[in-house]
Amino acid sequence: MNHESAALRRESLTANLARFDRMTMDRPGLTPASVAVCVMSAGDEGSLLITRRARGLRAHAGQWALPGGRRDPGESAEEAALRELCEETGVRAAAGDVLGLLDDYVTRSGYVITPAVVWGGAGRDDLAGPASEVTRVYQVPLHDLDVDPEFVRIPESSRPVIRLPLFGRYVHAPTAAIIYQFCQVALHGNEVRVGHYDAPVFAWR
C-alpha cells in the first residue's frame, strides 16, 4: 500500500467510525476491558493484528484474540487498548491513532469489552508479545477477514454462535463478533450490531 492509499484508507475508516452511533453497556458487576482492532498498512488492502494466545494460559488458551485485556483503575478504554497493543504486539500507537470505537460486547466470562480501532502504521516483521501470553502475532490481510460469517446453533444458547474461518480453523466470539462489526462498520459504512451473537461453550469460561 503506497503512502497516498494508506492515508485515504485511514481517512475512510475514521469517517465511517465517526458516523457510527455505537452502543455502550453499563454493567457495574462486570469487569471493563478493551481490545485494539489494529489496522496495519501492509499489503495492497491493509491487515489486522491478531494474536494466538499462549497454551499455558488459564483462560482461553490457544485461541485467536485481538490484543487486549482488563482496564486498570482510572484508565480509559482507549488508553487500555493502546497499552495492551504495545504489551502484546510491540506496536506503539498514540492517542491520535485511535480512529474510533465499536459497540461494547458483553462476554459470558464476565467482561464488558470496548473495541478501539487503532491505526498501527506500516507492517513490521518484528511483532511479538510476551511468550507467557502470546504465541505469535499475525498480520492478517483484511480481505481474509472481510468474509461472510458462519452461524451455528447450540443447545446451550438461544443465540446464534458466530465464527469466522481463518487459516483452516475458526475465530470465535467475542473476537469474531468484533472483527465482523469492524469490517461492516469501518470498511463498508454499514450499521451492524453484534451483541446478540454468542460464543461456543468452551469460550464461556
pLDDT confidence of residue 91: 96
Segment (H or E) for 134: strand 134-141
d(CA 10, CA 12): 5
pLDDT confidence of residue 4: 54
Q: Which CATH topology does 3-146 take?
A: Nucleoside Triphosphate Pyrophosphohydrolase (3.90.79)
Q: Which amino acid is at 130?
A: P
Mean pLDDT over 48-67 rounds to 75
Structural domain spans, the chain: 3-146
pLDDT confidence of residue 158: 96
Written as one string, the DSSP assignment of 21-41 is: -------TTSEEEEEEEEEE-
Per residue in 163-173, pLDDT (tens digit) is 999 988 999 99
Per residue in 80-119, pLDDT (tens digit) is 999 999 999 999 999 999 999 999 999 999 999 999 999 9
Which cell is 197 given?
451473537
For residue 181, pLDDT beyond 50: yes
Q: Positive or negative CA dihedral for 202, 112, 69, 103?
A: positive
pLDDT confidence of residue 138: 93
For residue 189, pLDDT beyond 70: yes
State the pTM of this model.
Answer: 0.93
Mean pLDDT of the chain: 91
